[in-house]
Amino acid sequence: MKAVTIDHVRKRLFVGLLSAGLIGTGLLLAAIWYFAVNSSESMLNQVLLVALGTMLVGGILVAAFGVGGIILTILYARDISALKGPIRVAVSTFFPLVLAIGRFFHIDKDRIKHSYIEVNNFLVRSKTLKLSPGQILLLVPHCLQKSDCPYKITVDINNCRRCGGCVVNELLELRDKYGIHMGMATGGTLARKFVKDYRPRGIVAIACERDLTSGIQDANPIPVLGVTNERPFGPCLNTQIKVPLVEEAISFLIEGKEQMAS
């Protein structure tokens, strides 16, 4: 299998595509308004066009506040509580459009998702969080375990023999050191079960760009710090992770706000 590597992607990629989606939707609204005013269609069709345009206006205004909230949070490195709702609407509503725009410009979708994860992490780090260890869940993917290991740990992660043959032992050491919860997921269904069972107030999730993106959106409004894994042997096989990045994320959720670089 081909190794998968994603170089560091700046937050501006996702924010730029999100802004482009907002502008494109605004142009569509202008076209609808033009045809509604100048069309020779029946009154019913004109009313329907106006109704559609009105709905788009509402969505665009909320999304515009959301994009503005993301930009202001990145610029000033501080949480803007009043814009949490619009930010959520902007990301969830326009995310498919962002991917479509990226596809049009031949931008790799994993690079876009990586940029989204960077934006999400920055938004989480802009908050003042001081959680107890019992309120934190560390979610790890099953592909971190060596594929030839005879001890399956997806049902019970404590079945790990801690031989040091893979990074799972180091992650278990972090769990024990900080006293947090930890679950190994084979997919979104099991990850959601862990969230339901442990009811965390903060999550540190390790996964590929695809799974992290969907997981962050599924867990909303629970704050999730995403750490992308490394795939030297290709997707879903003996993946790796930089453990210090995971520990730093756990530490942030426990210790609270820190100084961030934009």
Those residues whose C-beta lies under 8 Å from the C-beta of residue 174, and which sit 6 or more positions away, are: 138, 180, 243, 246, 247, 250
Which DSSP string corresponds to 31-87?
A: HHHHHHHH--S-HHHHHHHHHHHHHHHHHHHHHHHHHHHHHHHHHHTS--GGGHHHH
User: Smallest Cα–Cα separation from 144: which of 236, 254, 9, 39?
Assistant: 236
CATH architecture of residue range(s) 133-255: 3-Layer(aba) Sandwich (3.40)
What are 82-98's pLDDT values in tens digits?
A: 788 888 888 888 899 99
Those residues whose C-beta lies under 8 Å from the C-beta of residue 78, and which sit 6 or more positions away, are: 126
SS3 7: coil
pLDDT of the residue at 83: 82
User: Smallest Cα–Cα separation from 29: which of 51, 8, 14?
Assistant: 51
The mean pLDDT value for 105-109 works out to 93
pLDDT of the residue at 40: 60
pTM for the structure as a whole: 0.83
- What stretch of H or E contains 20? helix 11-38
- What ranges do the domains of the chain cover? 11-125, 133-255
Quick check: 261 pLDDT over 50? no
The mean pLDDT value for 106-132 works out to 92
Quick check: 148 pLDDT over 60? yes
DSSP 193: H
The mean pLDDT value for 52-61 works out to 72
What is the spatial distance between Cα 202 and Cα 119, in angstroms, rounded to a whole number? 17
Confidence label for 39 from pLDDT (cuts 50, 70 and 90): low
Q: Which amino acid is at 70?
A: I
Tokens of 87: 């930010």
